[in-house]
Structure formats: C-alpha cells, structure tokens
Amino acid sequence: MSSYPPSRIRNIALVGHNGAGKTTLVEALLFATGATSRQGRVEDGNTVSDFEPEETKRHLSLSLAIAPVTVGDVKLNLIDTPGYADFFGEVRAACSVADLVVTVVSAVEGVEAQTELVWSLAAELGLPRLVFVNKLDRERASFDRTLAALRDRFGAGIAPLELPVGEEAGFRGIADLLTDRAIFYEGAKATTGAIPDDLAQLEHQVREQLVEGIVVGDDALMERYLEGEVPTTEELESTLAGGLAQGLVYPVVCGSSATGVGIDRLASLLAEIAPAPDARPPVPVRAGDSTTEVSADPSGQPLARVFKTVSDPYVGKISLLRVLSGTIRPDTVLTNSRTHTDERLHVLQLLRGKETEPVSEAQAGDIVAVPKLSDTATGDTLAPKGTPVVVPAPSPEPAVLSIAIKPKSKGDEDKLMTGLHRLQEEDPALVVERIDETHQTLLRGTGETHLAIACERLARKFGVEVVTEEVLVPYRETITKPAEAEGKYKKQTGGHGQFGVADIRLAPLERGEGFHFVDEVVGGAIPKQYIPAVEKGVVEAMGQGGPRGYPVVDVQVTCYDGKYHPVDSSEMSFKMAGSLAFKEAVAKADPVLLEPLSRLEVTVPASMQGDIMGDLNSRRGRVQGTDTIAAFQVITAIVPTAEIQRYAVDLRSLTGGRGHFRAEHDHYDVVPPNLVDKLVKAKPE
C-alpha cells in the first residue's frame, strides 16, 4: 500500500458492547472494499482482526487490531476493539489514536453498558462520533426502538442519515436521507431506486428534519434553504462533516454486517465525512516545563507515539505507532523521550490483523507497525534527536482483581518473571507484585477473563504453565499495652558455650509507625558490640509473627539491661536472647490482630446508589462521602481489604457492568473481636 497524505487518511475506532458485531463489521468492510476475497466469520474463527488463539477459541476480541482498507483514494485505518469490560484499556488505546469513533449498536439488544462507557470516553477525549445500528436482519431487531434509546441516552445530537427498508428477515435495503434514494441489496448486488411507497411519507418527514438540522450549521446555506432552495447532496455532506467534526451532531446509519446490507454505503460515508488527521485539533506535547502543540504536517519534524505493543514469539516485539508529525521512512532514527535512547526504525510495516506488508514511508496522521524496537514501550514518544518532547499517553486501566500465581514446574521462576515482563509490555493493564508478608506473587488485572487470558498466553507464548492460588490477606499483629520480659539463651557444650541475657520493654506505637529500637543499657551489662544482635533477634521474631502467627508492627522495643559472659557470649547468643525476650513480652502485652483497609471509590449510575451503599455496609465498609458527576454517583468508603478481594466481579454483577471502582491501601486497623477466631482458624499453614 502506498503512502497517503493526512488529508486522505481516516483513523476510525469501532467500539461498542460485546456481541454488537464490531469484528463482523470490520470483515464486511474489508470484503466490501476489496481488501479481502471472502468475509470471515467470528463463529468460524477465521476473521482478520481476531487472530490470536485465545480469541478464536472464545469467539471474542481481546485486543485492538488494525485493518486498513481503501475507498477510492482514501485510506481508512479501521481499529477493531474489544467489547468486553475487562479489555477497556484496549478501547482507550484505540481511541487515543482515532479521529472518529464508530459506535456499533445491536438493533436487538440496543444501548448496553459498554456502549455508554465508550460514548463517555469519546466525549472525554473530544472525539467525533457516528453510530452504526447493526443486526437489522435479526429476529426482534428494531431500528425505531434503538434510535429512541440512543436519543434518550445521548441527547438531541443523534441524527439518522438512513432508514431501514424492511424488517428482521425482510430487511433488504436502506433509504439514504441525504440522496433521497433507496439502495436495495440482493446478495452482493446493490441497486438504487426510489423510496418504497410504504416508507415514503416517513422518509420525507425524517429527511426534512435532517436537512433542517444540517443547514443550521451554515448561515449561507440556511438562508438559501429558507428562500426555498434545496441543498445538494454534496452541500449537505460537507456541512454535516463540519458538524460531526465539532461534535454537534452524531450521525446514525444502519445495516447488517452479516448480510452486507448498507456496508458499502458506510465505507463511502466514512471516506466522505470522517475527519482527516490534518482537520483535527493539534496534539498537545510537553517540552520540559512548557506545553506546545503539533499539527499533522507531513513536512514537519518527525514525531510518533507508540500506542500498542504486540509480543510475537517468532518476530519479537512489534510496536504500533501513530505518526503525529513529519514523514517517517525505513532507517529513520528517533529518540525515545522516556529512556533517551536512540531507536532506528529499520522496517516500516502495514499491519492488517496478523499479516504485514512493508511500506516505503508513513506520513503524519498514519498508523504503522515497527518491529524490534529495543528500548521502547507502550505510551513512549519517539522524537527527533535533541528534541525531548513528550506526548501524553492514556493511563493504564486500574488493576482491580488479583490472583496469586506460581510456576507449575519447579525451576521455572525466572522463566515466569521473563514471561510476565513481556506480557506487561503488551498489556500495561497487567500488574505484577511480590508480597513479602504472604510470600506470594500476585498478578493483577481488570477482571477474571483478563487474568485467565494472561495465564493462557504465558503458557502458549513463553512455555510457562502456572498454578493459581487464593490471594492471602496480609494481616498483622500489634500490642495494646507495655510489657517486659527477660530473654535468656544458655547452651553448654564441650568447648565454648553460648550465653546471653537481654531484658526488654515493649510499648505500643501509633498505627503505621512501624518499629523503633531504643538502647538504654548502662554500665556495660551488654557490651555495645552485642546490642545490634539483640535488635536483629527482635526484628526476626517480629517477622515470624505474634501469638497468632502474623508479623508484629507498631512496637517500640527498649533494651534496658542484660548479662553477658566474657567467654561464652556471642552475637548469636544475644540475637537468640532478643528473640526469646520479644516473644515472651508480646504474649504479655495484650496483642491484637490488624487488618488492611482500602479506600474505595465507586462510580455508579445515580439510581444504583442505595444498592451499592447497602452492599458496602454488608462488607463492614464505612461510607466517607458521596459526590455527583453528571448522571453518576461517586461513593467513597473505607472497607476491609479482605471484603473486596472479588469486588470487581461483584460490582459488575450488581450494576450490569455500569459501575467501576478504584481501590488503594489506606491503613491498618484492629479486627473486630468476633472475627478474630474465624480468621485464625482459616489461616493457611
């Protein structure tokens, strides 16, 4: 495929709820534009954009995929995105490089949870939006019901450009309101004719409303319209494109990606009215403490941002980047603004699903794949040497669900960590964390499916099978009153023995202060060189746990006296004495069990506030406050971490996927006495 200037490029993200038909729509567009010789089916596992084994197995898109097509002299970079909530980070990445969002809505199910989320994301990013009502050939499909739901959820800017001809199995064409003509489909053949009589009155009425809505955006055109002049199709499309680019109107078109009805018209419409990169606002970039803007100018300085990394077991790392400015050619050398290392872009490739094709150059606004960049990750900016500018990248989706993992085969620990690192390059939403207190490696992600896919990819791509375990809560212990104890370690042997006595005093500290050690020994009762050994013994005993077996924290330990033997005393004997003294003193100091508490911020539709607050109360949560943002309520609460281990799954069930949350560790507090015995009994050995 040859190079395209920005004016002839359209970057389009297809988004929507899982099952709305995005991947099938991409297949239909590929087939309709001649990019492929046959249309693949999700059910058969032979689509262009769902090519990973995990995707074909589940019939589910799991990551974004690029599928460029040409319509006349215009290149459409189609970006297929997952519709499942666990992979919303992929949607965010796609939208960060798109100039238009096509929201795919099923005419059967209507506006669903993910539809609302991606619409909000597009609004947040200031992206123009177009709606494609799909599956009009299905039983129980209704364009009118879907259109009403779109207007109800997204406002008066929803503007139908087409009406369906026929219903359900009888759906056979579209009435194009811009041209005032109908397009009828019979297999792969499309013919244009007059609007059918049974649709003519409605079509005339809706067209009149559409034209009036369009001409409002152009004063001269509106004046001529009021004088009785009928705008041409070209004038309507041009004015509509302006309203679309400004986010004033959201065109609605319709069809069936399975049967091909309306697909050719959609492709043409995207080429005609979708904003080109050079028509979009400049991209803000940071240069040190200042901010500037960069336009999609192919003659400018080369600048690109990596928005996706693919880890291929054969090719290695493949970076997908959007060229923001300038023109990039093979062997161009750019500097990574994060690592300050130079990267030579040896090869530029056009990516269509998993198939690659070399390209001679990529101009501003285009999307290109570059293999084997050594020190570049998702979100990095590639800039000219000596120009360390940074293009802000979207933040990864918060990791809200955890599993504990370990390699199935002993000796695969290094292999596991290497595989996890490679997966994180590919998917920044994955977080790996080692918890020393519980001796577990945690893999955090956005949901059950997300984590299951990560484990499958570990096995397939990197040959590491893992075993998953329940995530242990890092409970702790502390004391509630002062106590004293003597630790004596005495051991007689044939030669030198072991002798050390340490007298210590414990005192509770404020929550979160950790550990203080105070040396108050006077008169040489314990020689100075042995005091650190006493402290070391205390620290080891704290780590081994109090009476209930959990690490002890928030304690001040004062060593105030002791005894030593000039021959038998050693660091080992005083370390043991410190440990014995600490264990005895803790038992006298009324120890209590501490649990971690998390600060939870839950965002849900306002109508669900009562249910969510009731659920948080049942989890021993304490609501700190609420805030209103548009039609959503943000509830802030402090909740025991043990009670929200699977909150990502539970909240999705409670809200039908319309709620989301963030959680972070806040502090430790005392476990209620009625729960202590239950927790201790459940403690793993």
How many structural domains are present in the chain?
5
Kindly indicate the confidence band of residue 551, based on its pLDDT and cuts at 50, 70 and 90.
very high
SS3 293: strand
Mean pLDDT of all residues belonging to the chain:
93
Q: What is the per-residue pLDDT across 246-267, written as a single tens digit (0 to 9) for each?
A: 999 999 999 999 999 999 999 9
CB distance 32 to 141 below 8 Å: no
Q: How many CB atoms lie within 10 A of CB 334?
A: 25
SS3 137: coil
Is pLDDT above 70 for 587? yes
Is pLDDT above 60 for 271? yes
CATH label of the domain that carries residue 375: 2.40.30.10
Is pLDDT above 80 for 307? yes
Q: What is the per-residue pLDDT across 476-516, written as a single tens digit (0 to 9) for each?
A: 999 999 999 999 999 876 667 899 999 999 999 999 899 99
Is pLDDT above 90 for 288? no
**Given 469, 499, 522, which residue is the final one in a domain?**
469
**Given 352, 383, 414, which residue is the final one in a domain?**
383
Residue in 189, 181, 192, 176 with CA at minimum distance from that of residue 254: 176
Token reading at 410: 């002993």
Q: What is the per-residue pLDDT across 427-436, written as a single tens digit (0 to 9) for each?
A: 999 999 999 8
559 and 669 part of one domain: no
pLDDT at 647: 96
Residue 185 lies in a domain: no
pLDDT at 133: 98
Is pLDDT above 80 for 452? yes
Residue with tokens 């402090």: 638
pLDDT at 191: 94
CATH label of the domain that carries residue 620: 3.30.70.240
* Averaged pLDDT for residues 164-184: 95
* Averaged pLDDT for residues 211-225: 86
56 and 137 part of one domain: yes
pLDDT at 315: 76
Is pLDDT above 70 for 154? yes
E strand map for 55-204: 65-71, 74-80, 100-106, 129-134, 158-160, 162-165, 173-176, 181-186, 189-193
d(CA 469, CA 464): 16
DSSP-assigned letter for residue 394? P
Q: Please give the residue range of the domain that contains residue 318.
A: 283-383
* Averaged pLDDT for residues 115-128: 95
**Given 533, 557, 590, which residue is the final one in a domain?**
590
Residue in 83, 39, 38 with CA at minimum distance from that of residue 60: 83
Kindly indicate the confidence band of residue 629, based on its pLDDT and cuts at 50, 70 and 90.
confident
Q: What share of the chain is helix, strand, coil (3-state, %, to 5)?
A: 30, 35, 35
443 and 530 part of one domain: no
pLDDT at 533: 96
Residues ≥6 apart with Cβ < 8 Å to 544? 551
Residue in 24, 12, 9, 16 with CA at minimum distance from that of residue 263: 24
pLDDT at 1: 57
Sign of the dihedral defined by the CA atoms of residues 242, 247, 248, 250, in that order: positive
461 and 328 part of one domain: no
- The whole-angstrom distance between residue 609's C-alpha and the CA centroid of its chain comes to 24
Rounded percentage of the chain residues whose pLDDT exceeds 90: 81
145 and 270 part of one domain: yes
529 and 668 part of one domain: no
Q: Which residue has the higher pLDDT, 123 or 678?
A: 123
Residue 196 lies in a domain: no
* Averaged pLDDT for residues 405-418: 91
pLDDT at 62: 93
* Averaged pLDDT for residues 30-43: 93
Is pLDDT above 60 for 20? yes
16 and 133 part of one domain: yes
Residue 220 lies in a domain: no
492 and 575 part of one domain: yes
Is pLDDT above 80 for 15? yes
Residue 363 lies in a domain: yes
CB distance 573 to 526 below 8 Å: no
Residue 31 lies in a domain: yes
CATH label of the domain that carries residue 458: 3.30.70.870
DSSP state letters, 322-348? EEEESEE-TTEEEEETTT--EEEE---
* Averaged pLDDT for residues 166-180: 95
Residue 43 lies in a domain: yes
Residue 439 lies in a domain: yes
Rounded percentage of the chain residues whose pLDDT exceeds 70: 99
CATH label of the domain that carries residue 481: 3.30.230.10
pLDDT at 34: 93
Kindly indicate the confidence band of residue 312, based on its pLDDT and cuts at 50, 70 and 90.
confident
Sign of the dihedral defined by the CA atoms of residues 88, 94, 96, 101, in that order: negative
d(CA 578, CA 501): 8
pLDDT at 685: 63
CATH label of the domain that carries residue 44: 3.40.50.300
* Averaged pLDDT for residues 466-474: 93
* Averaged pLDDT for residues 53-71: 94
Kindly indicate the confidence band of residue 422, based on its pLDDT and cuts at 50, 70 and 90.
confident
161 and 131 part of one domain: yes
328 and 425 part of one domain: no
Kindly indicate the confidence band of residue 616, based on its pLDDT and cuts at 50, 70 and 90.
very high
Residue 573 lies in a domain: yes
DSSP state letters, 354-380? TEEEE-S-EETT-EEEEE--TT--TT-
612 and 665 part of one domain: yes
586 and 600 part of one domain: no
